[in-house]
């Protein structure tokens, strides 16, 4: 009963607040999403049915602005959380609320806010609803804005489910655009950005076993150079001793370096990235782990696949030690050229690889990673022996004629199972192929065919998979049937078809989607941050809107 | 430009306020080395949800061992094998450490992953009862170093083991030493066994061989309970000054492969209702008396 009332309240508020009056009373806007699922038990695929039978996640975000003043809140509901979300989210309330004054030179925020310094290697707070991730800071933030210069200072505690983390986070950031700050450089063709930040966490030392630093600081410096079609960005970071749950209580300092270079012009884009991080897991509670209370974010060096099977083995960023490179080239063969054809052909290639950093004993009497010691020594330029991941992919996009479009994808993957999923299972070598066809057979009517295969060497893990989807679209309406078939599973009993059917409609900015069927278990990652998705069997419903 | 300079100076000053603490070795604190061995001291229960195929669990076991060395008899530990990583698998992981009661506790406290623990089942700031392995030490310290050494109640246990039929009988006497609120008080009696030598998965080379330690000495493993999982109510109301409540239990059957001399009885009293529901007031542990 409570669930129905809360859900109805959310629906009512979501649709009722369609007031966008731009008048002297300011304006209201926001967004809304509700995800509900009804569970059937299915022992064959390991799908559980919780006692509640239903899971429900929802939020309503409302923002009011009036000239320089802004206030907002987000109401959330998890009653109970969908399977796969942390059960500590169960409940409802307003975990996010703020007021903001946005003046010409100063911006002041009190309450919850999200912020990022540079690439996020020292501080990044954000929310990702589908991951169940939210590390907002509840405190005060001041920004001072001048021509070419932005100074930011903040202090607060991070959200931890319906409470706050123990530690207090304090930080300052300065970002200077030379061309805007100095008149003599205003006309220079090359734009240069310099930035620096300093963040520290205070958490009392109550540990009876170790002497712990109550104040842990980290800082970074960054540079960005933009000249014509070229750009270059670099950021280097450092963290003092931070014994914590994720590094097994070692006293080694941390460091990180991210480099990025790019070139883009009409028809061609090239990006090269390189990264090294060493002991850079940084949280506002030294005992936290998993999704809980990270202060920083290590940029992911992995392509984001939109298709199901190529995304089956996603990489999980290793904040305490990884080095990697990623290269991406996108090129469009011109229209009416030999390879371009009548409409042009686009090819998108990428390669990403991540490896362990090199580690050696800090001294003869201490093992690598031993708690209560310096942990290890690591030569910055040496590469460790263990490979974590690689992904090589090629995607070809082509419009064949006015009715047909085709997308072909090939992916080659190496996936270290223990590093990415924590299971001591054999590594996975896999290849995936996708044929994605769109057929616009009548105006406003289209059929979409998506056929995918995942071929796992030696049938490790769950072996080979096939995926097929046929989708019909008519203007804002869609209906699809899907089958994901684990034909290569070593256990014949688990060579299962995961059938499902889905339909939905979009009215302006409101979207409704309904799905019924079986869903395979897997890993959902956004930007290298991942959560497990359990297998489910049943009916799910999503309603989202913005106003 | 002047404003920018002023601001920079202000910010730099703030910078200096944010001290960072570089710790010099030695990094390890000296504990009481278990000097507080008198029985009428505050004792805390640490429950460790674990499993023999859980690769990170040996690190949690090590932390609990270190805490036991630090606090001596003030720390009572129980290892509850439950969940996915406690399931029997192919040899050498075919032994079943699980118990009905352990699985019930695993489900009741909504354990999602191991290792994870509870310290006196104190409710945490996130609304749950679970404590990461990294927080075990500080949570134990909050219970033992911040509260008076004299416990709020005392549990006296007198076990008696009958070797002819491998059954255990127990007399428990609970004495309320301090004024406690009106509530429902429950008593739980667990039986644990240490030095069960079986395989354990491990990924920490500083603890032992990886990925397997084939002769791992499993400690304080929950073997069963002499009371129901959530215990038995011993009082509903306000405890009187120095009030004594006696309970007895008999004919608890030991498993065929249990080694009585390695077994202990763990008892604790907790709030069964009210704002501190589930919170343990005092724990106690004695060896199983063997003739």
**Burial tier of B1 (Cβ tally within 10 Å: 0-12, 13-18, 19+):** exposed
Residues 6+ apart with CB under 8 A from B13: none
Question: What does the pLDDT look like over A189-242, one tens digit per residue?
Answer: 999 999 999 999 999 998 988 999 999 999 999 999 999 999 999 999 999 999
What does the pLDDT average to over A85-105? 94
Q: Answer yes or no: is pLDDT of A248 > 60.
A: yes
The predicted structure's pLDDT at residue B218:
98
ipTM: 0.78
pTM of the model: 0.86
Nearest C-alpha in B relative to A421: B55
In A, minimum Cα distance to B67 occurs at A209
What is the reported pLDDT for A489? 94
Higher-pLDDT residue of A335, B217: B217
Q: State which residue of chain B sits closest to A214, comparing Cα positions.
A: B21
Q: Please state which of the ranges A347-356, A388-397, A496-505, B203-212 shows the lowest mean pLDDT.
A: B203-212
> Which residue has better confidence, A39 or A534?
A39
| Rounded-to-integer distance, Cα A198 and Cα A204, Å | 20
Residue B220's nearest CA partner among B49, B37, B43 is B49
How many beta-carbon pairs under 8 angstroms link A with B?
A: 141
Chain A nearest-CA distance from B64, in A, is 11
- In this prediction, residue B7 carries a pLDDT of 56
Q: Please determine, for residue B71, whether its predicted confidence score (pLDDT) is greater than 90.
A: yes
Domain membership flag for residue B73? yes
Of B15, B29, B201, Cβ closest to residue A198: B15
What phi and psi, each to the nearest 5 degrees, are found at residue B94?
A: -95, 0
Closest to A337 in 3D by CA, of A345, A329, A349 = A345
Within a domain: B125:
yes
Closest approach of A94 to chain B, Cα-based (Å): 15
Residue A447 has pLDDT above 90, yes or no: yes
Give the lowest-confidence range in A4-18, A79-93, B216-230, B251-265.
Answer: A4-18
In a domain? residue B20: no
Nearest 10 degrees: Cα torsion A384, A387, A389, A394: 100
Q: Is B12 part of any domain?
A: no
Does A240 contact B25 at a Cβ distance shorter than 8 Å? no
Q: Quick one: pLDDT band at residue B10, thresholds 50, 70, 90?
A: low
Mean pLDDT, range A37-66, rounded to an integer: 93
Task: Determine the 3-state secondary structure of A345 from DSSP.
Answer: strand
Residue from the list A207, A215, A288 with its beta carbon closest to the beta carbon of B132: A288
- Separation in Å, CA of B101 to nearest CA in chain A: 19
User: Is residue B215 assigned to a domain?
Assistant: yes
Q: What is the CATH number for B131? A: 2.60.40.10
B138–A206 C-beta distance less than 8 A: yes
Cβ contacts of residue A403 below 8 Å, gap of 6+? A439, A440, A441
The answer as to whether B26 is a domain residue is no
DSSP code string of chain B:
-HHHHHHHHHHHHHHHHS---PPPSP-BPP--TT----SSS--EEEEEEE-TT-TTHHHHHHHHHHHHHHHGGGEEEEEEE-SGGGS--STTS------HHHHHHHHHTT--SSSEEEETTPPPTTSS--B-HHHHHHHHHHHHTSS-SS-SEEEEEEEEEETTTTEEEEEEEEEE-S---SEEEEEEEEEEE--EEEEEE---TTTS-SSEEEEEEE-SEEEEESS-TT-EEEEEEPPPTT-EEEEEEEEEEPPTT--GGGEEEEEEEEE-SSTTTT-EEEEEEEEPP--
Residue B282 to residue B157: CA distance in whole angstroms? 13
- Per DSSP, the three-state class of A532 is strand
A286, closest residue in chain B (CA to CA)? B134
Question: What pLDDT digit, counting tens, does each position of B235-290 carry?
Answer: 999 999 899 999 999 999 999 999 999 999 999 999 999 999 999 999 999 999 66
- Stated as kind and residue range, the H or E segment containing A6 is helix A2-16
Residue A15 has pLDDT above 50, yes or no: no
Task: Give the chain B residue whose CA is nearest to the CA of A86.
Answer: B112
Q: Which two tokens stand for residue A235?
A: 């950021």
Q: Tens digit of pLDDT for each residue in A252-285? A: 999 999 999 999 999 999 999 999 999 999 999 9
Q: Which of A87, A200, A243 sits opposite B112 (nearest CB)?
A: A87
Identity of the residue in B3, B27, B131 whose CB atom sits nearest the CB atom of A211: B27
Residue A35 pLDDT greater than 80, yes or no: yes
Percent of chain A with pLDDT over 90: 79
Q: Do B141 and A206 touch (CB under 8 A)?
A: yes
Mean pLDDT rounded to a whole number for chain A:
91
Question: Over 70: is that where the pLDDT of A13 sits?
Answer: no
Interface check B91 vs A, CB under 8 A: no
Chain A residues within an 8 Å CB radius of B63:
209
Flag whether residue B35 sits within 8 Å of chain A, measured between CB atoms.
no
pLDDT at res. A527: 63
pLDDT of A316 above 90: no
What does the pLDDT read at residue B14? 56
pLDDT tens for residues B154-170?
A: 999 999 999 999 999 99
Pairing between β-strand B183-193 and β-strand B153-162 as defined by DSSP bridges: unpaired
CA–CA gap between residue A251 and residue A377 (Å, rounded): 11
Q: A508 CB contacts (<8 Å, ≥6 apart)?
A: none
Residue A270, strand partner residues: A263, A329
Q: Cα distance from A441 to chain B (closest Cα, Å)?
A: 49
Residue A395: pLDDT over 90 = yes
B10 vs B62, residue with greater confidence:
B62
Report CA torsion sign: A42, A47, A51, A53: negative
- B16 reaches A (C-beta below 8 A): no
Q: Does B33 touch chain A (CB under 8 A)?
A: no
What are A63-76's pLDDT values in tens digits?
999 999 999 999 99
What's the confidence (pLDDT) of residue A317?
87
The larger pLDDT score, comparing residue B191 to residue A528, is at B191
Report residue B203's pLDDT band, with 50, 70 and 90 as the boundaries.
Answer: confident
Question: Are residues A213 and B20, on separate chains, in Cβ contact within 8 Å?
Answer: yes
Split into its structural domains, chain B has a count of 1
Q: In A, which residues are within 8 Å of B66 by CB distance?
A: 209
Q: B27–A213: do the CB atoms touch at under 8 Å?
A: no
What's the average model confidence in pLDDT over A337-362? Answer: 93
- Residue A535 · residue A42 · CB < 8 Å: yes
Please state the φ and ψ torsions of residue A141, each to the nearest 5 degrees: -130, 135
Angstrom CA distances, A425 to A206, A429, A487, stand at 37, 13, 20
On whether residue B16 sits in a domain, the answer given is no
Q: How far apart are CA B79 and CA B83, in angstroms?
A: 13
Shortest distance between the Cα of A88 and any Cα of chain B, in A, equals 7
Nearest chain A CA: its distance from B142 CA (Å)? 7
Q: Does the residue B267 lie in any domain?
A: yes
Smallest CA–CA distance, residue B202 to chain A, in Å, is 10
Task: Identify all chain B residues contacting A209, using CB atoms and an 8 Å cutoff.
Answer: 28-29, 31, 63, 66-67, 70, 137
Residue A9 has pLDDT above 50, yes or no: no
A283 CA to chain B: closest CA distance, Å?
A: 13
Tell me which residue in A240, A290, A368 faces B20 most closely, judged by beta carbons: A240
Domain that holds residue B181: 32-287
B7, B20, B56: residue with CB nearest A215? B20
- State the pLDDT at residue A304: 87
- Split at pLDDT 50, 70, 90, the class of A127 is very high
Q: Do the Cβ atoms of B70 and A208 come within 8 Å?
A: yes
The sign of the CA dihedral A450, A451, A457, A460 is positive
Chain A hits for B142, Cβ within 8 Å: 206
CB < 8 Å to A164, chain B:
125
Determine which helix (DSSP H) or strand (DSSP E) holds A12, and give its type and residue range.
Answer: helix A2-16
What is the per-residue pLDDT for A424? Answer: 73
Quick check: B138 and A287 CB within 8 A?
Answer: yes
Query: Which residues lie across from A37 on neighbouring strands?
Result: A55, A540
User: Who has greater pLDDT, A200 or B31?
Assistant: A200
Q: Is B126 within 8 Å of A162 when comparing Cβ atoms?
A: yes
How would you classify the pairing of strands B75-81 and B44-50? parallel
pLDDT number for residue B18: 54
Residues in chain A with CB shorter than 8 Å from the CB of B18 are 170, 198, 200, 215, 217
Residue in A closest to B59 by C-alpha: A248
A473 pLDDT tier (thresholds 50, 70, 90): very high
Overall average pLDDT of the B147-151 stretch: 90
- Contact B155/B174 with Cβ under 8 angstroms? yes
Q: Is the pLDDT of residue A5 over 60?
A: no
Query: Would you say residue B32 has pLDDT above 90?
Result: no
B257 CB-contact burial (10 Å; exposed 0-12 / middle 13-18 / buried 19+): exposed
């Amino acid at each position: 009963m409570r669930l129905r009332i809360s859900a109805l309240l959310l629906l009512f508020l979501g649709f009722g607040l369609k007031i966008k009056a731009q008048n002297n009373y300011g304006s209201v806007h926001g967004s809304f999403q509700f995800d509900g699922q009804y569970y059937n038990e299915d022992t064959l695929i390991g799908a559980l049915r919780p006692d509640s039978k239903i899971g429900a996640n929802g939020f309503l975000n409302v923002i009011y602005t009036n000239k320089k003043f802004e206030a907002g809140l987000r109401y959330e509901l998890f009653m109970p959380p969908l399977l796969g979300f942390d059960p500590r989210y169960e409940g409802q309330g307003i975990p996010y609320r703020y007021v903001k004054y946005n003046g010409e030179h100063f911006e002041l925020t009190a309450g919850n806010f999200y912020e990022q310094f540079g690439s996020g290697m020292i501080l990044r707070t954000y929310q990702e609803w589908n991951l169940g991730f939210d590390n907002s800071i509840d405190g005060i933030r001041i920004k001072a804005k001048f021509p070419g210069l932005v100074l930011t200072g903040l202090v607060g505690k991070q959200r931890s489910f319906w409470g706050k983390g123990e530690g207090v986070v304090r930080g300052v950031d300065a970002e200077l655009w030379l061309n805007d700050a100095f008149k003599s450089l205003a006309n220079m063709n090359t734009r240069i950005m310099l930035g620096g930040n300093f963040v520290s966490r205070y958490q009392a030392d109550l540990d009876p076993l170790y002497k712990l630093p109550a104040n842990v600081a980290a800082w970074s410096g960054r540079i960005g150079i933009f000249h014509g079609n070229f750009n270059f960005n670099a950021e280097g970071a450092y963290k003092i001793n931070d014994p914590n749950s994720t590094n097994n209580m070692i006293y080694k300092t941390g460091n990180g370096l991210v480099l990025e270079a790019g070139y883009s012009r009409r028809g061609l884009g090239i990006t090269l990235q390189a990264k090294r991080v060493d002991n850079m897991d940084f949280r506002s509670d030294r005992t936290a782990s998993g999704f809980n209370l990270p202060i920083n974010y290590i940029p992911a060096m992995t392509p984001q696949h939109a298709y199901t099977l190529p995304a089956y083995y996603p990489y999980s960023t290793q904040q305490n030690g990884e080095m990697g490179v990623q290269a991406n080239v996108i090129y469009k063969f011109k229209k009416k050229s030999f390879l371009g054809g009548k409409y042009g052909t686009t090819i998108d290639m990428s390669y990403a690889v991540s490896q362990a950093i090199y580690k050696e004993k800090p001294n003869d009497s201490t093992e690598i990673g031993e708690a209560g010691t310096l942990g290890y020594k690591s030569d910055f330029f040496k590469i460790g022996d263990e490979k974590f991941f690689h992904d090589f992919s090629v995607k070809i996009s082509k419009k064949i004629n006015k009715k047909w479009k085709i997308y072909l994808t090939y992916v080659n993957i190496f996936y270290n199972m223990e590093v990415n999923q924590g299971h001591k299972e054999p590594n996975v070598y896999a290849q995936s192929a996708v044929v994605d066809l769109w057929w616009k057979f009548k105006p406003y009517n289209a059929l979409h065919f998506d056929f995918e295969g995942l071929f796992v060497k030696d049938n490790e893990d769950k072996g080979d998979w096939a995926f097929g989807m046929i989708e019909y679209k008519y203007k804002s309406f869609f209906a699809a049937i899907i089958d994901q078939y684990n034909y290569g599973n070593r256990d014949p009993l688990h060579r299962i078809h995961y059938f499902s059917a889905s339909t939905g409609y979009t009215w302006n900015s409101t979207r409704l989607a309904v799905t019924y069927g079986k869903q395979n278990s897997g890993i959902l990652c956004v930007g290298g941050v991942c959560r497990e998705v359990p297998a489910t069997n049943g009916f799910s419903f999503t309603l989202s809107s913005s106003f | 430009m002047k404003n920018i300079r002023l601001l920079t100076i202000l910010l730099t000053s703030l910078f200096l306020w944010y001290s960072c603490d570089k710790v010099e070795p030695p990094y390890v604190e000296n504990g009481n080395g278990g000097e507080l061995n008198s029985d009428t001291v505050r004792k805390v229960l640490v429950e460790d949800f674990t499993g023999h195929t859980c690769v990170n669990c040996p690190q949690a076991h090590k932390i609990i061992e270190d805490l036991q060395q630090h606090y001596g008899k003030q720390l009572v530990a129980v290892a509850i094998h439950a969940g996915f990583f406690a399931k029997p698998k192919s040899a050498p992981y075919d032994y079943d450490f699980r118990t009905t009661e352990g699985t019930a506790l695993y489900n009741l406290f909504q354990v999602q992953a191991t290792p994870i623990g509870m310290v006196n089942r104190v409710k945490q700031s996130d609304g749950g009862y679970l404590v990461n392995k990294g927080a075990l030490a500080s949570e134990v310290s909050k219970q033992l170093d911040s509260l008076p050494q004299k416990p709020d109640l005392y549990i006296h246990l007198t076990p008696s083991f009958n070797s002819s039929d491998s059954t255990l009988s127990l007399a428990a006497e609970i004495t309320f030493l301090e004024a406690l609120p009106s509530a429902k008080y429950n008593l739980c009696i667990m039986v644990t066994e240490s030095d069960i030598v079986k395989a354990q998965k491990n990924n920490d080379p500083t603890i032992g061989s990886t990925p397997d330690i084939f002769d791992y000495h499993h400690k304080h493993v929950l073997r069963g309970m002499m009371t129901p999982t959530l215990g038995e109510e011993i009082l509903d109301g306000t405890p009187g000054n120095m009030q004594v409540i006696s309970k007895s239990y008999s004919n608890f059957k030991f498993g065929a492969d249990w080694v009585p001399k390695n077994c202990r009885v763990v008892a604790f009293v907790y709030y069964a209702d009210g704002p501190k529901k589930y919170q343990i007031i005092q724990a106690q542990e004695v060896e199983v008396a063997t003739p």
